A and B are shown apart, each in its own frame.
Chain A
Amino acid sequence: MTVKTRPVQNKTSETTPEEKSLWQRLDRWWLLFVGVVVLTLWLTQTRPDPYRRILVYLEDGLRVTVGVTVVSFVFIVLVGLIGGLGRISKNPLIKGVASVYVEIVRGIPLLVQLMFIYYASPIVIRGLGESLAKSWPAMSARLIAIKINPFVAAIVGLTICYGAYMSEIFRAGIESIPKGQMEAARSLGMGYLQSMRFVVLPQAIRMILPPVGNEFVALLKDSSLVSVVAVADLTRRGREFMASTFMALETWLMVALVYLLMTLFLSRIVAYIEERTNYSR
């Protein structure tokens, strides 16, 4: 996986085409964004029943979706940083563990991973607890008593899965910084982690920020999968509403609009970050 970089725009040539394309993009985005907002407002104003009712019903789910996404994301960035550093480590054990983690996780669908953590891992933990019954009773009892909370399962599942992809983004970002930077820092007597922290990572961040932003948008959408492990997110609330009212079209239209509003807004921010990191070079 490589970090996406756009070709450097030629600043000496006339600036009109560059500005124009920027305006075109602004236009298209505003049109879409305003269109979605207007449609949502129009639906809820002209037909408060069912649309306003649906929206009110979805509110709790929206909060859960945002919460799960944001909390997972914090852990994902941490795992990505550690995983990325692990992938480029000179220590074969650390490198091996990080690589195996990334390869396994990338080969299994997120939905299956979530199912495994929520439904299968309690069995594993229980089995472990039972096998420790004689040798370590205190630990055994504690393990058997563990109940998997849906939220925890969702956040752990999303973190494990997205952490692997994030590791690759961090790895590619760090590797895009010339080796001479690390060598110069080390030759001044700075340690490996000090050199990473003060020299390599600050430069890598510029490369990493746009793809990390894209991951956040993707995570927001993929978080809808946590609805299968009993987390009452936006999608699950939609399903519940449909089940009680049989209004499939109206329900899923509103759910789709709410997701779209969030992702449109976020991808605009990502595009803005991307532009800034390009222009400041």
Chain B
Amino acid sequence: MKELADNIIEIEHVSKKFGRVVALDDVSLTVERGEVVVIIGPSGSGKSTLLRCINHLESVDSGRIVVDGIPLTQAKNIDKVRAEVGMVFQLFNLFPHLTALQNITLAQTVVRKTSASEATSLARDLLAKVGIPEKADAYPAQLSGGQQQRVAIARALAMQPRIMLFDEPTSALDPEMIKEVLDVMLDLAREGMTMVVVSHEMGFVKAAAKRIIFMCEGHVIEETTPDGLSLSACKEERTRQFLGKILS
């Protein structure tokens, strides 16, 4: 069968177990090019696992994932897919022994074999884009949480990915820093980046999301749009309960 060109991510009947814990149970999901999809759901519902399957940080037990036409099956494809998919983690995971600038240039020079000067100039552009051009030579330990997360976003963008995955990018941040990170993400969304975001930040969801996916116990139980994001519009009782908590 021919792949539909505008479905940049296709997840078909994916299941994943950790020992006896079922993290994903027959999940199917497609994401169109340029779409911003937000995944929400209670803790342990498999949101992170689903995201991590998309760039194969976790392998799936069954089912099929195709990213930008590349099936995630053979080892050879994996690094190729990963370079196309940027990932931003809850705890930033910056490289502490490297400066902000070096964090951003490392993968460019190692994976893409970009020259040092080219990588550096792209890194400086990206630091300016995320609003901290003056922090190029700072080490992660010298940056605030919000600044670290923005460096992490710049680091992922340096690989010029087609897709960006965000796993609760603001949940480890103090409230006053959340906005600076969300603003960067909103800019990205406006530029047409395909984004899959696990986040309970309703401000971001309303401003940027095209679709909202509810997960519960490893299933996608409901799908809606930001406009339909009201308690009464949800069909599932569990979704209503969960929404009641995060909307209040």
Contact = CB atoms under 8 A, between A and B. Distances in A.
Interface of A: 178, 180-181, 183-191, 194, 198-199, 202-203
Contacts of A203: 95-97
A198 B84 CA distance: 20
A188 B97 CA distance: 17
A50 B80 CA distance: 72
Contacts of A190: 79, 106-107, 110-111
Contact of B57 (A181, A183, A199): A183
A113 B68 CA distance: 56
Given A188-B107, A188-B111, A180 B95 contact: no
A184 B93 contact: yes
Interface string B111-135: 1000000000000000000000000
B79 A181 contact: no
Contacts of B111: 188-190, 194
Nearest to B91: A180
Contacts of B97: 202-203
Contacts of B87: 184, 187
Contacts of A199: 95, 106
A259 B227 CA distance: 79
A186 B57 contact: yes
Interface of B: 55, 57, 79-80, 82-87, 89, 91, 93-97, 106-107, 110-111, 152, 155-156, 159
B79 A180 contact: no
Chain A interface helix/strand/loop/mixed: helix
Given A184-B89, A194-B110, A198-B110, A189 B95 contact: no
B57 A189 contact: no
Nearest to B96: A203
Nearest to B165: A187
Contact of B95 (A181, A187, A194): A181
Given A180-B93, A183-B93, A190-B110, 5 more contacts: A180-B89, A188-B106, A188-B111, A189-B83, A199-B95
B49 to A, nearest CB: 13
Nearest to A195: B110
Contacts of B82: 186-189
Nearest to A188: B107
A183 B58 CA distance: 10
**Interface-central residue, A189, A194, A199, by most chain B CB under 10 Å:** A189
B83 A181 contact: no
Nearest to B111: A189
Query: 10 smallest A-B Cβ distances: which pairs?
Result: A189-B83, A188-B107, A184-B93, A180-B93, A187-B87, A189-B82, A189-B111, A202-B97, A189-B79, A203-B97
Given A202-B97, A203-B96, A188 B91 contact: no
A220 to B, nearest CB: 30
Contact of A188 (B80, B96, B159): B159
Contacts of B85: 187
B110 A187 contact: no
Contacts of A191: 79
